[in-house]
Amino acid sequence: MTALFTLAPAVAAPARPVAPAPGFPRSLRTGVGTPAGSDPAKLMQTARNFEAMAIGQLLQPMFDTVDTAHGLFGGGAGEEAWKPMMVTELAKQIEGHGGLGLAAPIYAAMLRMQEDKAS
């Protein structure tokens, strides 16, 4: 039997900066034009967290259809209890390596909403 994936050794991930990526428009990268009191880094982190949550919601049905009763670990209540946490962490890893590209438009929308609110 061939493994579909391999488990990497547990290595602490390097701290990732929370500043917007270089692909964002200049005004979004620098925070120019952001409403007073808003922190662009916090907004970006919130947008990334939202993207990770959305990816997790997309992945969950896939894991719900897997029959684990005949797998290596035999299924059971323990496996079912930990499965949502595994999906969440997998979604965070996908988002951390580029994701689906949702964070940029979400960040821009959050900035627009704050600007509208400040007006």
Instruction: Over range 7-13, report the average pLDDT.
Output: 44
- Domains identified in the chain, total number: 1
How far is CA 16 from its chain centroid? 13
pLDDT of residue 98: 92
The residue among 33, 38, 31, 47 whose CA lies nearest residue 100 is 47
User: Is residue 94 in some structural domain?
Assistant: yes
- In angstroms, how far apart are the furthest CA atoms of the chain? 62
Instruction: Read off the pLDDT of residues 35-92 as tens digits, 9 standing for 90 and up.
Output: 545 788 999 999 999 999 999 999 999 988 887 777 777 778 888 888 899 999 999 9
Tell me the residue range of the domain where 86 lies. Answer: 38-118
Provide the token pair at 9: 């050794």
Whether 2 maps to a domain, the answer reads no
- CA–CA separation, 50 and 93 (whole Å): 13
* Residue 73 is assigned to a structural domain of this protein: yes
Do 103 and 95 meet the contact criterion of CB atoms below 8 Å apart?
Answer: yes
Per residue in 84-112, pLDDT (tens digit) is 999 999 999 999 999 999 999 999 999 99
Per the domain annotation, does 5 fall within a domain?
no
Residue 61 domain-assigned (yes or no): yes
Per-residue pLDDT for 21 more than 70? no
Distance CA 90, CA 95 (A): 9
| Domain assignment of residue 29, yes or no | no
User: To which H or E segment does residue 46 belong?
Assistant: helix 40-64
65: its two tokens:
């259809």
